Amino acid sequence: MTEVPAPTPSPPTAARAPWNVQHKARLVLLPLITAALVIGGWEAFVRIKNIPAVLLPAPSAVAVRLMETWPFLLQQGIPTTLETIAGFLISLVLGIGLAILISASRLARDALYPNIVFFQLIPKIALAPLFIVWLGIGSTSRVTFSVFISFFPVVVATLTGLTSVDRDLLRLCKAVGASETKIYTRVRFPAAVPHIFSGLKIAITFAMIGVIVGEFITAQAGLGYMILFAASQAEMSLIFASIAVLCIIGLALYGIVVVAERFALKRYGN
């Protein structure tokens, strides 16, 4: 008895190619054109209404400033990036570790999980000054705060993944005499990988936010500090230029997690 497996998508034929290209072009061009229109509108608005540069600079002014200062801004970006990565990696380890503990121990779950949910809900950013008071104005306080706001999504996501295994599959594991450890390493953990990555995508974003807020308060170095400094000098274009560089770095870091996720889902996804 031979059977035809699930059909894989056939490669586009010559007749289909134009539609395929058109579809992809539309996906890219449409948002680009919209963004260009908004920026164009911004530029026109500033010029026509003669808005002073200290209030709202024109995109062209921002571009000029960016050209002038990008090496310097990138240099300021280094501490921000490094602290973000440090915060993220610590969150990853702590978050996954805590989730494993909670899923394995009923006591840990009943004691810790409600508190974790509580911390998920409160505005943690408001606690940033506390960390500065406790840990000083150096990297330690910024990275610690960054971990504080980014590790909860990792815990919750990992926990969801670890407990999402099909009940019947778990019954099967017991019925073949598998130990709890083996069930964890061979079934629960691999099943949790897609969930963990959802948590990591949130964590990388939050880690960066934590570092930037920390830089706002400690005002020492980094792009957060640059924004603060530029604001104090009423250098609006510099603010926007710093934000632009921050966006690029943030997107790059997020992109790395997304690429890692794609590799992981190839193996562990459904």
**Residue 182 in the binding site for other proteins (CB under 8 A):** yes
**Per CB under 8 A, which of residues 142..181 are in contact with other proteins?**
166, 168-169, 171-178
Q: Which residues, numbered 3-42, are part of the site for other proteins (CB under 8 A)?
A: 3-6, 8
Given candidates 116, 143, 155, 187, which one binds other proteins under the rule CB under 8 A? 187
Query: Which two three-digit tokens encode residue 108?
Result: 């840990």
Q: Which is nearer to other proteins, 16 or 171 (CB)?
A: 171
Q: Is 2 in the site for other proteins (CB under 8 A)?
A: yes
Q: How far is the CB of 6 from other proteins (least distance, A)?
A: 6
Give residue for tokens 């990036």: 81
Q: From the CB of 101, what's the least distance to other proteins, in Å?
A: 23
- Please report how close the Cβ of residue 142 comes to other proteins at its closest, in angstroms: 37
Q: For helices 59-104 and 236-268, give the axis angle rounded to 10 degrees.
A: 40
What angle (nearest 5°) sits at the alpha carbon of residue 40, between those of residues 39 and 46? Answer: 90
Nearer to other proteins, 3 or 14 (CB): 3
Determine the 3-state secondary structure of 15 from DSSP. Answer: coil
Closest CA to 223 of 256, 205, 200, 248: 248
DSSP state of 234: T
Q: From residue 166, how far is each of 69, 157, 161, 162, 163 by CA, in Å? A: 55, 17, 11, 11, 9
**Is the torsion defined by CA of 258, 260, 266, 267 positive or negative?**
negative
Q: Shortest distance, CB of residue 165 to other proteins, whole angstroms?
A: 9
The stretch near other proteins (CB under 8 A) out of 15-23, 27-35, 50-58, 262-270 is 262-270
Which residues of this protein are in contact with other proteins, per CB under 8 A?
A: 1-6, 8, 166, 168-169, 171-178, 182-183, 186-187, 190, 267-270
